[in-house]
Amino acid sequence: MPQLNGGGGDDLGANDEMISFKDEGEQEEKISENLSAERDLADVKSSLVNESETNQNSSSDSEAERRPPPRSETFRDKTRESLEEAAKRQDGGLFKSPPYPGYPFIMIPDLTSPYLPNGSLSPTARTYLQMKWPLLDVNHGSLQSRQALKDARSPSPAHIVGPFCLEFPGQSDLSLHQFQLSNKVPVVQHPHHVHPLTPLITYSNEHFTPGNPPPHLQGDVDPKTGIPRPPQHPDISPYYPLSPGAVGQIPHPLGWLVPQQGQPVYQGFRHPYPTALTVNASMQSFLSSRFPHHMVPPHHSLHQTGIPHPAIVTPNVKQESSHSDIGLNSSTILYTLHRKHQDSKKEDEKKKQPHIKKPLNAFMLYMKEMRAKVVAECTLKESAAINQILGRRWHALTREEQAKYYELARKERQLHMQLYPGWSARDNYAANQQGKKKKRKRDKQPGEGNEHREYFPNPCLSLPPITDLSAPKKCRARFGLDQQNNWCGPCRRKCPKEVSCLVRA
């Protein structure tokens, strides 16, 4: 992370970037463009902060209106408690001290007391929390909302209150704080990229843009069943999939319904619903539509009255019941069902192989943050083009600005390592090789690349096309400018003008 070592001014990064385009002989234009880009960045940053602040204000007003009844709180609450557990495990002091001065993403001015005397989150803390974890509803930090949480939880029957549901007098601030800090919830990505919790989790910040409530909050009703869908879970951060161990930490969203054989039974889910294990037709349909098959509790083909109802018989059950109708004895039926269950379990286990994604690198984090901005500015939708713009804007960033993302990426990697100690990027190589989902990228022939290709003249920044992709970015990024003796030969040899500029910088 050279940018961290340099400690230079803003011009360092700018020079660094400028060199790539000097060949075009449009230095003046470039300077103005850099200024423009920096203004853009400043706008972005300020707008992000303002949005965060504004969103707090606006969302706090509208929160009460939009907030679903206590039922949704139980989802949130359930996860919150399980995450507190995860937080205690994860807490390696990642966020205890600001490692990089001036780094707005990591630094929390006062972690030990992010709340104001009235119990609400301080604006700074809220801004941080919303920027870091846009899915987090920081307004729950208020006394009222926390009290509401408590109130919503309190009616829960004691028998369904599990280990996650211990009530600690006066715990609210600390535990909530812990939760918020640990909100990078690991989320297993299902092999089909549909995690069981996916209906409750989103990777996209846009889904939670305040003032633009997602469709599911606007009377989200399953068109098939007419049953309102549960709200997406806003507390779960999108960054990481769950580790296999962490899966058990996150309660199954339907765990309270049916204790399935061989699966952990979640005991800590507090909910306003009765604990009856019966799943009626509507619920079955709802569950089937919202969750993978293996997560949907078995349907007993019985109406609430106990009388089989043809409308609520799933095809599988139909088939099974037809077997029973032709005179098979009960032990044979049981054996058949058992075999089928075993087979389906094996298949499910294959499918359930958790796909732990790589931690995002600095540029990826930057892209995630800036993509929407670029899309809005340029009215572009094609990601390839957007990424080109983002790539150039990335180079236009100052060293300090880039350092934010490098530091954030470093934190992400640390957290990832803590969450998945045994994970290796190689695992994902193997996963794709097995699934053969992706073909190997077509090797670019010499001259086929875009080094001399004006693939996408940037309509937004009016920047010259990228003509030199051979800039020594890897070694520069890896070792930094002050350790050029560690650079590989090609990186040292390439673009001497840039190197000289970098050295000068």
Residue where the block lists tokens 């939760």 = 179
Residue where the block lists tokens 């005179």 = 327
- Residue 228: strand, helix, or coil: strand
Q: Considering the rule CB under 7 A, would residue 504 count as an interface residue with DNA?
A: no
Q: Considering the rule CB under 7 A, would residue 368 count as an interface residue with DNA?
A: yes
**Torsion of the alpha carbons at 175, 177, 179 and 184, rounded to the nearest 10:** -160
Stretch that binds DNA, among 30-38, 131-139, 147-155, 422-430 (CB under 7 A): 422-430
311/115 Cα distance (integer angstroms): 53
**DSSP for residue 102:** T
Q: Considering the rule CB under 7 A, would residue 78 count as an interface residue with DNA?
A: no
Supply φ then ψ for residue 308, to 5 degrees: -55, 135
Stretch that binds DNA, among 68-76, 111-119, 208-216, 436-444 (CB under 7 A): 436-444
Which residue in 118, 326, 376, 438 binds DNA (CB under 7 A)?
438
Stretch that binds DNA, among 58-66, 79-87, 345-353, 364-372 (CB under 7 A): 364-372
- Of the pair 63, 468, the CB lying nearest DNA is at 468
CB of 240 vs DNA, minimal distance in Å: 9
Q: Please, which residues have CB within 8 angstroms of residue 78's CB and are 6 or more apart in sequence?
A: 164, 251, 268, 269, 270, 271
Selection from 268, 237, 7 nearest residue 131 by Cα: 237
Q: Considering the rule CB under 7 A, would residue 483 count as an interface residue with DNA?
A: no
CA 211: distance to chain centroid?
Answer: 20
136/126 Cα distance (integer angstroms): 10
Which residue in 203, 209, 314, 378 binds DNA (CB under 7 A)?
203
The count of residues interacting with DNA (CB under 7 A) is 57
Residues 375-404 that bind DNA (CB under 7 A): 381-384, 387-388, 390-391, 394-395, 402
Stretch that binds DNA, among 114-122, 166-174, 330-338, 429-437 (CB under 7 A): 429-437
* Number of residues written out for the chain: 505
Residue 115's DSSP bridge partners are 121
407/106 Cα distance (integer angstroms): 8
Which residue in 99, 280, 473, 484 binds DNA (CB under 7 A)?
473
List the end-to-end C-alpha distance of the chain, in Å, as a whole number. Answer: 16
Stretch that binds DNA, among 32-40, 218-226, 329-337, 442-450 (CB under 7 A): 442-450
Q: Considering the rule CB under 7 A, would residue 455 count as an interface residue with DNA?
A: yes
User: Which residues of this chain interact with DNA, rule CB under 7 A?
Assistant: 1, 203-204, 206, 355, 357-358, 360-364, 367-368, 371, 381-384, 387-388, 390-391, 394-395, 402, 406, 409, 413, 424-426, 428-429, 431-433, 436-443, 450, 455-456, 466, 469, 473-474, 477-478, 488-490
